[in-house]
Amino acid sequence: AETTMKTYRLAMIPGDGIGVEVTGAAMQILEATAARHGFALAPQWFDWSCAHYIATGAMMPSDGIETLRGFDAIYLGAVGWPESVPDNVSLHGLLLPIRKAFDQYANIRPHRLLPGVEGPLRAQGFDILCIRENTEGEYSGAGGRVHQGRRNEVAVETAIFTRNGVERILRFAFDQARQRRGHVTSVTKSNAQKFSMVFWDEVTREVAADYPDVTVAHMHIDAMAARMVMAPESLDVVVASNLFGDILTDLGAAIQGGLGFAASANICPDGSGPSMFEPVHGSAPDIAGRGIANPIAAIWSAALMLDHLGVAEAARAILTAIEATTAKGIGTVPGRDATDKITAQIRAELET
Amino acid sequence: AETTMKTYRLAMIPGDGIGVEVTGAAMQILEATAARHGFALAPQWFDWSCAHYIATGAMMPSDGIETLRGFDAIYLGAVGWPESVPDNVSLHGLLLPIRKAFDQYANIRPHRLLPGVEGPLRAQGFDILCIRENTEGEYSGAGGRVHQGRRNEVAVETAIFTRNGVERILRFAFDQARQRRGHVTSVTKSNAQKFSMVFWDEVTREVAADYPDVTVAHMHIDAMAARMVMAPESLDVVVASNLFGDILTDLGAAIQGGLGFAASANICPDGSGPSMFEPVHGSAPDIAGRGIANPIAAIWSAALMLDHLGVAEAARAILTAIEATTAKGIGTVPGRDATDKITAQIRAELET
Ligand SMILES: CC(C)[C@H](C(=O)O)[C@@H](O)C(=O)O
Ligand SMILES: CC(C)[C@H](C(=O)O)[C@@H](O)C(=O)O
């Protein structure tokens, strides 16, 4: 009997440093999963990176965004090589334009401790989904400087929040909570930022009214940072602005044992463009080329991609294989096990 | 032989809830220390609080600031009683105007684990001094909302940084580092906030040039939040903007075991006005009136006050007595020991 397999077109951008190493690992696992779960992958590789910048003067070709538009999903390893290209050039030339161009307004990052991983906290049992607004707010890029270099210089940076921008990320968070334990914590600082954050709180109350089955808590960012360390098990879905989400997801990565375990997805929920999947870690020049980067964050991000593409069973199989691997003590300590060894073990677990 | 004792005039503002309870405890310890270290205290008590607001329509009298100006220092317990007075009223009616009026631009908060206290981290050995800019930046209060309540509403909040404001807090931090282990970490987010934070980084480089004996590191706020959890022992002095410092000091309080241990000083370094000392915790309506508030943060804040007033030996004696108390397991677990018991033990230790 002949069956037509569904084929997913993937834009693969390994990027710089360990981004290249972990993307290779993620691709191996993706291919292995596809073979077992009856779908096919059509990856196309793009060498857009700091090396590309040095060679051509741009992080990606001028039609880069148009090229990506046709794919079902984008996978990105890591971007940046500060020794030769300043971070603001590399980030503003590749990662950030992609997030913007495809309106990937929901940056989602799961934080929980994999079996066998000893995090920095005594607390063990937590399972948090952080949802970060990814397109506006404190990273809008609006501002300026006057009297530059003089004694009376003033620099301003303006956070811009739109109702549509705030409402859609909150709805996304409440929808996610429905798939989980039904609790949303909305993080602001409305006692000190009377315009932006009071507005966010108001929209939260409006949106919450449409989700009577979801409970909601309001917390200030300072108290929330403390809570993630003191009582992470009390949290389910956490939703926050671009800056607050950025901070909380690095903190989330820390409590789950480090960046080697932190996966992320930049979702365009209405599907008007492709979504992008990337580990939270950067290119890590200090360990690049040594074959010791932990591929778990990258492979977990690949699982988020499959889940988003609709092959949830395959995504779950990858997570199960990651957990079986760390439960055996492989990949649990930063820098100890080779990337290849961890990847091979996850692959072996997929086959059991 | 007759000696003239130095007398310090203190404005004591117990405030609300447990603020009243812990301020009483702090005063007991201050008096005991004064008697032993040969100085005198002339406290004057002010009932400025939410109760005062309900009775009079204002958190403090209209000449409140002028009244405070004549004191050597201000001690504040805690402000706020959200059930009857909204936080933005109580904070903007008392705490924040005092910080502003006396240009208390340096908010300093020590974070280390007292002996016997089991923090949430596995890490034990850290000793961090967080220095937060206290007068401008992200809490400048500049901003607005257009099309309020409509679909096209936009809210903006503008962070304002002045060269004088940034430079003076950085100099203060570098000066503090000279008294400690000689290392400053300056926290920004210059890869995403290109105006304000790039400016802060530039001023940091300029100021650092005047302190060749102090080493300096630049970190992004997201990486820094993770660092405080992953490797707090790598930090000495941490300096940050109003918002970033606010977040990091709550995180600092968390890693030192909670708000019951977090002391703070709002310093006016040029002495043009009095400085203010307060525990980081709030009025804690949930435990107010039960006599179980931990007075250690408040007593530690009193020690910071004595140190600032120039009686460093007395300040050290208080710290030693606090440490002897927690080393005996008293006051180490939130809510377990009575405020009175902990205070009595610290007092007894002062006398040994
Ligand atoms: C590199 C930086 C611009 C980026 C961000 O802040 O979005 C990163 O910190 C992240 O969290 O993905
Ligand atoms: C209550 C609030 C305005 C205050 C602040 O942000 O300054 C508090 O969080 C603090 O840290 O002292």
The three-state DSSP-derived secondary structure of chain B is CCCCCEEEEEEEEEECCHHHHHHHHHHHHHHHHHHHHCEEEEEEECCCCHHHHHHHCCCCCCCHHHHHHCCCEEEEEECCECCCECHHHHHHHHHHHHHHHCCCCEEEEEEECCCCCCCCECCCCCEEEEEEECCCEEEEEEEEEECCCCCCCEEEEEEEEEHHHHHHHHHHHHHHHHHCCCEEEEEECCCCCCCHHHHHHHHHHHHHHCCCCCEEEEEEHHHHHHHHHHCHHHCCEEEECHHHHHHHHHHHHHHCCCHHHCCCEEECCCCCCCEEECCCCCCCCCCCCCCCCCCHHHHHHHHHHHHHHCCHHHHHHHHHHHHHHHHCCCCCCCCCCCHHHHHHHHHHHHCC
Residue A183 is assigned to a structural domain of this protein: yes
A168, amino acid identity: R
Nearest to A155 among B191, B199, B246 (CB): B199
pLDDT at A160 over 70: yes
- Helical pair A339-350 and A296-309, crossing angle rounded to 10 deg: 40
List Cβ neighbours of A126 (8 Å cut-off, separation of 6 or more): A111, A112, A113, A232, A233, A235, A255
Residue A3: predicted pLDDT: 64
Of A206, A240, A255, the domain-final residue: A255
Query: Pick from A220, A132, A212, A214: which is nearest to A169 by CA?
Result: A132
Question: What is the spatial distance between Cα A191 and Cα B282, in angstroms, rounded to a whole number?
Answer: 13
Q: What is the pLDDT of residues A37-58, one digit of tens each?
A: 999 999 999 999 999 999 999 9
Q: What is the pLDDT of residues A300-313, one digit of tens each?
A: 999 999 999 999 99
Question: What is the spatial distance between Cα A294 and Cα A259, in angstroms, rounded to a whole number?
Answer: 9
pLDDT at A213 over 60: yes
Q: For B350, what's the count of Cα atoms within 13 Å in the CB-facing half-sphere?
A: 26
Residue B176 is assigned to a structural domain of this protein: yes
Ligand 1 atom with the smallest distance to the CA of B189 is: 6
Quote the domain boundaries for residue A86: 1-104+262-352
CB B295 within 8 A of CB B94: no
Q: Are both B249 and B270 inside the same structural domain? A: no
Residue B78 is assigned to a structural domain of this protein: yes
Q: How confident is the model at residue B132 (pLDDT cuts 50, 70, 90)?
A: very high
Q: Are both A279 and A209 inside the same structural domain? A: no
Q: How many domains does chain A have?
A: 2
Q: Are both A137 and A86 inside the same structural domain? A: no
CB B95 within 8 A of CB B76: yes
Q: Are both A124 and A251 inside the same structural domain? A: yes
Average pLDDT over residues B204-208: 98
Residue B288 is assigned to a structural domain of this protein: yes
Of A255, A270, A291, the domain-final residue: A255
Distance A309 CA to ligand 1 centre (A): 24
Q: Are both A95 and A145 inside the same structural domain? A: no
Residue A87: predicted pLDDT: 85
Of B255, B289, B323, the domain-final residue: B255
Residue A129 is assigned to a structural domain of this protein: yes
pLDDT at B88 over 90: no
Does the beta carbon of B226 sit less than 6 angstroms from any atom of ligand 1?
A: no
Sheet with A154-162, side-by-side order of all strands: A137-146, A154-162, B154-162, B137-146
- Which one is catalytic: B8, B72, B189, B307? B189
Residue A67 is assigned to a structural domain of this protein: yes
Q: Are both B152 and B235 inside the same structural domain? A: yes
Structure-block tokens of residue A307? 């889940």
pLDDT at B3 over 80: no
Residue B110 is assigned to a structural domain of this protein: no
The residue with tokens 């060749």 is B212
B213 is catalytic: no
Residue B4: predicted pLDDT: 73
Shortest-distance ligand to the CA of residue B93: 2
CB B201 within 8 A of CB B167: no
Average pLDDT over residues B274-286: 97
Structure-block tokens of residue B233? 């022992």
Q: What is the pLDDT of residues A74-128, one digit of tens each?
A: 999 999 999 999 987 899 999 999 999 999 999 999 999 999 999 999 999 999 9
Q: Are both A225 and A149 inside the same structural domain? A: yes
Longest dimension (CA), chain B: 79
CATH of the domain at B184: 3.40.718.10
A222 is catalytic: yes
Query: Pick from A230, A256, A228: which is nearest to A240 by CA?
Result: A228
Q: Are both B55 and B162 inside the same structural domain? A: no
Residue B113 is assigned to a structural domain of this protein: no
Q: Are both A204 and A301 inside the same structural domain? A: no
pLDDT at A2 over 90: no
Q: Are both A310 and A226 inside the same structural domain? A: no
Nearest to A254 among B143, B157, B230 (CB): B230
- Which one is catalytic: A47, A87, A210, A222? A222
Question: What is the spatial distance between Cα B266 and Cα B249, in angstroms, rounded to a whole number?
Answer: 13
Question: What is the spatial distance between Cα A111 and Cα B312, in angstroms, rounded to a whole number?
Answer: 45
Average pLDDT over residues A243-251: 98
Ligand 1 atom with the smallest distance to the CA of A96 is: 3
Q: Are both A64 and A133 inside the same structural domain? A: no
Distance A279 CA to ligand 2 centre (A): 33
- Tell me the pLDDT of chain B averaged across its residues: 96
Structure-block tokens of residue A71? 């794919």
The residue with tokens 């208080």 is B318
For the CA atoms of B61, B66, B68, B69, the dihedral, rounded to the nearest 10 degrees, stands at 170
Q: Are both B250 and B158 inside the same structural domain? A: yes
B162/A154 touch (CB, cutoff 8 Å), yes or no:
yes
CB B245 within 8 A of CB B130: yes
Cβ-based contacts of A230 with chain B (< 8 Å): 120, 254, 258
Query: Pick from A275, A263, A26, A231: which is nearest to A129 by CA?
Result: A263
pLDDT at B1 over 60: no
Q: What is the pLDDT of residues A262-299, one digit of tens each?
A: 999 999 999 999 999 999 999 999 999 999 999 999 99
Picking from B157, B164, B248 by the largest number of A CB atoms within 10 A of its own CB, the best residue to mutate is B157
Distance A249 CA to ligand 1 centre (A): 10
**Could you tell me which chain B residue has the CA closest to the CA of A220?**
B247
Query: Pick from A20, A72, A26: which is nearest to A48 by CA?
Result: A20
Q: What is the pLDDT of residues A3-17, one digit of tens each?
A: 678 999 999 999 999
